[in-house]
Amino acid sequence: MARLGPLGIVELAELAGRDYTTVSRQIAKLESLGLVARCPSPNDGRVRAAVITDQGQVMTDALDAARQKIIEELLAGWDAKEVGELARLLRKFADDALGWVKTS
């Protein structure tokens, strides 16, 4: 969410491939924890957009760092060619998955 800026619940639901009510409940929970705040959408004042808070950004940064550490440890014995091939195949998989979601 931080990378994309304030987003309405409908936009978030579409990006996540989930229904509006599920995402709305999840955003409400994150808001109650102080990780997300709601503000008027910069594009449409009728819409309340969700935006990550400073506390939410700290948590996101910690999760990103932990994920990075795990990946580095898992790939420590791989050579650069193997890592490149994994990255290529994951990109192909992600692109195909995105295409599948859009057509479903």
Residue 3: inside a domain: no
Range of the domain at 90: 56-103
Whether 28 and 16 map to the same domain: the answer is yes
pLDDT value at position 2? 59
Are residues 48 and 8 in contact, defined by beta-carbon separation less than 8 angstroms?
A: yes
Instruction: Give 11-18's long-range contacts (Cβ < 8 A, gap of 24+).
Output: 12/50, 17/101
Of 2-6, 7-11, 25-29, the range with the highest mean pLDDT is 25-29
Average pLDDT, the chain: 90
**pLDDT confidence band for 69 (50 / 70 / 90):** very high
Whether 80 and 97 map to the same domain: the answer is yes
Q: Is the pLDDT of residue 91 over 70?
A: yes
Residue 37: inside a domain: yes
Residue 60: inside a domain: yes
Average pLDDT over residues 16-45: 89
Whether 65 and 93 map to the same domain: the answer is yes
Whether 61 and 93 map to the same domain: the answer is yes
Whether 48 and 78 map to the same domain: the answer is no
